[in-house]
């Protein structure tokens, strides 16, 4: 009996596509469609989106449809569909609109890397345009997106695997030889017909106000010869829509579909008018609101004067007054980053993203760090960065322009660095190889910036996170040290306070595990690792290598002990480097990474040696490393298991 039950369940779960599909929905209920996102059914209509920003919705016929003829897998089936839809605009500003909606034929129920806003809930920036999407769509778009070469902000387009339409027309319909425009975002019911003849390979798209006769001449008539390459044998049919910063309802009120035949006629005589219903709801809400306001006026009359006096005053918190009150308007940052779109992202952190932007008032290119989780630690790092970097002025430090706050989101604005971070220039194979002269200058730049932090300002600034990903390069490959979220400041005559240990594995000075004090010598240790990283062209810790080479510092020390120090040079340089400079950088890196802090050089000594203004300090012999308990192999292994180490993503 259990075997029979199991067989029945398997047969029930496997639902093959029907050879011929035809269906008719004059109204919808929850069981008739497969829904993804937040579609809702109201009065028999399905609304793919609602009055919410940055959302998408999808509704599909629950069973797959056979879209290729069984006897000829290289020929797609004919199909015909008609539906009534409405795009109901935002009540407070009907002239504005969301992103639009689309009729889709797709091989999968779930979106292909779905994103809202301009992607209509179909793709995202990494999946759009790929031939393996196998997606056919007819879009009804109410936004002009230049990136997709849109015709205007009120058009119908035919899309294949992409949102750059192969054919598009301004929304409208034909009456004889006269064409009438049709506003897709009017909120009124619109009927659409989409017909494809696989023999003629002809696609026709027609729209008109619901209730009007079907025009004899289609809006779009286009020959598609490669539709069989788009369609798989089994596909799903339905609708998708999305909103951006402006919201609206995208609703389908009735729908019919058929393969190898005309779609059944719709009965549209009893369809509701969603815009009338919404306006009625708005009037009710407005009446209630007015009544409440009248009642509340008596309670708030005493506060009117105070409200008027403070109406336009920007509230500055105490810490902003103390440090650096250069605050950007969030609206300007939103415009600069195109609404913080995904395609503007320059990089990610544990609790932050960095976006590229252009200030609308000045045209200045900027980078905007968005800290999207306002915890106590995130706020501390935010304040630390603007309080330290905001007042520091040096050509080798990333210039901070200001900051902004909106709700729980924190934003820091910097100058934009076109060549990104140093680690990408060294390790990404898509980038051109940095020459030795460029690398040497970068180390000089970082050394100069770090010397300024330690000795050149009114306070001592310990960066605590020196690494290649925090070294940024401008258009001329000038290096600038950035990311001061972990920095600590104290007076030149004061003592550093014990704090939690933060930083990045492979760069942290070993004594910090025991002392927890942020001191300049800890930065020197990190800079030593950076020097070795730039010279060797490898990361401080590389688990893909064998045990003898996994930790860069141990490996370079071993080569030095064997008299083969130059073997550590980055092979990508092809031997094109100044030998004396390469040896100097490698030895300086080892000196800076001395496990006894008091034996490390200062940043002034390091800078003088890089500039050739002082002879190289004596480098300890390999026997000194082995003979002293003060020189563990690296400290990396213990760091991996020490509970006192804390920090952000990629850090310990």
Q: Annotated catalytic sites, by residue?
A: 465
- What token pair was written down for 392? 């520091």
Query: Do β-strands 155-160 and 136-141 pair in parallel, antiparallel, or remain unpaired?
Result: antiparallel
Instruction: Check: CB of residue 182 under 8 Å from CB of residue 189.
Output: no
- Angle subtended at Cα 581 by Cα 631 and Cα 560, rounded to the nearest 5 degrees: 30
- Angle subtended at Cα 530 by Cα 526 and Cα 533, rounded to the nearest 5 degrees: 135
Beta-bridge partners for 481:
397, 471
User: How long, in residues, is the chain?
Assistant: 652
Whose CA is closest to 255, among 101, 46, 65, 100? 46
Number of neighbours of residue 493 by Cβ within 10 angstroms: 6
Whose CA is closest to 419, among 473, 346, 348? 473
Please give the helix or strand (H or E) that residue 488 lies within, else none: strand 488-490
Whose CA is closest to 366, among 399, 415, 329, 328? 415
- CA 535, CA 566: separation in Å to the nearest integer? 10
Whose CA is closest to 402, among 394, 552, 393, 391? 391
- What token pair was written down for 110? 């779930």
- Angle subtended at Cα 73 by Cα 67 and Cα 79, rounded to the nearest 5 degrees: 25
Angle between helices 579-592 and 436-451 (to 10 degrees): 40
- CA 189, CA 87: separation in Å to the nearest integer? 8
In angstroms, the first-to-last Cα distance of the chain is: 58
The dihedral sign for the CA sequence 476, 481, 484, 486: positive
DSSP per-residue letters across 162-206: SSS-SEEEESEEEETTEEEE--GGGSS-EEEEEEEETTTTEEEEE
Residue 352 DSSP SS3? strand
| Residue whose structure tokens are 């070469």 | 149
Number of neighbours of residue 438 by Cβ within 10 angstroms: 15
- CA 201, CA 197: separation in Å to the nearest integer? 5
- What token pair was written down for 87? 């795009």
Contacts of range 173-178, beta carbons closer than 8 Å, 24 or more positions apart: 173/206, 173/207, 173/208, 173/209, 173/212, 173/215, 173/219, 174/215, 174/216, 174/217, 174/218, 174/219, 175/215
Helices (H) then strands (E): counts for the chain = 16, 27
Please give the helix or strand (H or E) that residue 346 lies within, else none: strand 345-348
Instruction: Check: CB of residue 439 under 8 Å from CB of residue 534.
Output: yes
């Amino acid at each position: 009996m259990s075997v029979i039950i199991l067989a029945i369940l398997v047969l029930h779960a496997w639902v093959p596509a029907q050879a011929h599909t035809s269906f008719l929905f004059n109204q919808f209920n929850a069981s008739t469609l497969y829904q993804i996102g937040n579609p809702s059914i109201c009065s028999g209509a399905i609304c793919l989106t609602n009055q919410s920003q940055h959302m998408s919705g999808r509704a599909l016929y629950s069973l797959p449809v056979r879209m290729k003829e069984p006897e000829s897998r290289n020929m797609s089936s004919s199909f015909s569909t008609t539906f009534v839809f409405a795009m109901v605009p935002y009540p407070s500003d009907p002239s504005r609109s969301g992103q639009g909606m689309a009729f889709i034929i797709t091989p999968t129920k779930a979106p292909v890397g779905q994103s809202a806003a301009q992607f209509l809930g179909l793709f995202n920036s990494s999946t759009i345009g790929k031939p393996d999407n196998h997606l056919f769509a007819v879009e009804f778009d109410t936004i002009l997106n230049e990136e997709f070469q849109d015709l205007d902000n009120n058009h119908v387009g035919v899309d294949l695997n992409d949102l750059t339409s192969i054919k598009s027309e301004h929304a409208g319909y034909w009456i004889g030889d006269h064409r009438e425009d049709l506003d897709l975002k009017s909120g009124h019911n619109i009927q659409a017909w989409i017909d494809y003849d696989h023999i003629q390979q002809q696609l026709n798209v027609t729209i008109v106000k619901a209730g009007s006769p079907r025009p004899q001449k289609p809006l779009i008539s286009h020959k598609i010869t490669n539709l069989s390459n788009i369609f798989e044998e089994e596909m799903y049919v339905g609708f998708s829509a999305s909103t951006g910063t402006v919201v609206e309802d995208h609703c389908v009120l009735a729908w019919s579909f058929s393969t190898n035949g005309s779609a059944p006629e719709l009965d549209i005589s009893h369809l509701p008018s969603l815009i009338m219903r919404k306006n009625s709801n708005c009037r009710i809400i407005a009446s209630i609101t007015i009544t409440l306001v009248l009642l509340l006026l008596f309670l708030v009359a005493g506060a009117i004067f105070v409200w008027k006096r403070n109406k336009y005053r920007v509230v500055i918190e105490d810490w902003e007054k103390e440090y650096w009150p250069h605050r950007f308007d969030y609206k300007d940052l939103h415009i600069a980053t195109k609404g913080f779109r995904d395609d503007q992202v320059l990089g990610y952190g544990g609790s932050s993203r960095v976006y590229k932007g252009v200030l609308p008032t000045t045209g200045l290119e900027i980078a905007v760090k968005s800290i999207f989780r306002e915890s106590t630690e995130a706020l501390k790092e935010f304040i630390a960065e603007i309080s330290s970097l905001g007042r520091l002025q040096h050509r080798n430090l990333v210039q901070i322009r200001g900051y902004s706050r909106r709700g729980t989101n924190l934003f820091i604005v910097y100058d934009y660095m076109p060549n990104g971070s140093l680690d990408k220039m060294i390790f990404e194979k898509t980038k051109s190889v940095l020459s030795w002269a460029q690398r040497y200058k970068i180390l000089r730049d970082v050394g100069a910036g770090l010397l300024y932090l330690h000795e050149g300002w009114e306070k001592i600034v310990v960066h605590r996170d020196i690494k290649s990903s925090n070294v940024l390069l401008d258009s001329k490959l000038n290096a600038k040290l950035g990311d001061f979220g972990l920095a600590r400041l104290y007076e030149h005559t004061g003592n550093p306070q014990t704090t939690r240990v933060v930083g990045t594995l492979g760069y942290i000075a070993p004594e910090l595990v025991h002392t927890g004090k942020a001191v300049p010598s800890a930065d020197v240790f990190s800079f030593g690792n950076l020097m070795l990283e730039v010279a060797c062209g490898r990361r401080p810790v590389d688990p893909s290598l064998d045990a003898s080479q996994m930790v860069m510092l141990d490996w370079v020390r071993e080569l030095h002990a064997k008299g083969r120090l130059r073997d550590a040079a980055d092979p990508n340089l092809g031997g094109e480097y100044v030998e004396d400079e390469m040896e100097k950088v490698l030895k300086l890196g080892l000196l800076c990474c001395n496990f006894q802090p008091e034996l490390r050089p200062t940043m002034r000594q390091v800078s003088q040696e890089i500039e050739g203004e002082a002879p190289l300090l004596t480098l300890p012999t390999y026997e000194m490393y082995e003979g002293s308990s003060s020189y563990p192999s690296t400290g990396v292994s213990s760091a991996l298991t020490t509970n006192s180490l804390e920090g952000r993503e990629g850090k310990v």
